[in-house]
Structure 1
Amino acid sequence: MVPLQFGLPGGPELLLLGLLLLVVPFVLAYWVYTDAERRGEDDAAFWALAVGALTYLTFFGGLLAVVVYRWQRDDPDRRTV
């Protein structure tokens, strides 16, 4: 029997991928929250939680939530000048 001399195969790569999948939801949620607060949105916390949770659970669901947020924030009916 040959011992594993160099550790587990794919260990560092899987660690970096796991860290990336944990950091991206927080970064997207922070960006959405600060953007919504700056624009005076009343539901900034909702958008941040939705984007963060969906990005953590399903990456593409989080990207879809960011697209929906961007679409609704650029809605001309919601603008107050």
Structure 2
Amino acid sequence: MVTLVRLGLLGGPNLISLGVLTLVVAGVLFYWVYDDAVGRGMDDAALWALGVGVLTLLTLVGGFLALGVSVYTRE
């Protein structure tokens, strides 16, 4: 375990950059879904955006699946 940490395979700048990238992707998807839903006059725009944003933070793949469902169910 100590050897892996010393080699930089666990944690460090790589893990921080992955976290920041995930936050940026979640924020962009949240904003895009919210803006699109408000533009279409949907009453539950905040719920769609919140669902996509939270799923993106929890699992990146889940966020993109939720985005696909959001796009598919647009009015």
TM over 0.5: yes
Structure 1 vs Structure 2: percent identity of aligned residues?
57
> Post-superposition shift, 1:13?
2.4
Structure 1: which 5+ residue stretches go unaligned? 1-6
Which TM-score applies when normalising by structure 1?
A: 0.74
1:54 corresponds to 2:55:
yes
Query: How many equivalent residue pairs?
Result: 68
1:23 corresponds to 2:24:
yes
Structure 1 runs of 4+ aligned residues shifted over 6 Å read none
> Post-superposition shift, 1:71?
0.4
For the pair shown, the structure with the greater C-alpha radius of gyration is 1
Flag the structure with higher helix content.
2
Alpha-carbon RMSD: 1.7
Which TM-score applies when normalising by structure 2?
A: 0.79
For CA contacts below 8 A with separation 6 or more, give which structure has more relative contact order.
Answer: 2
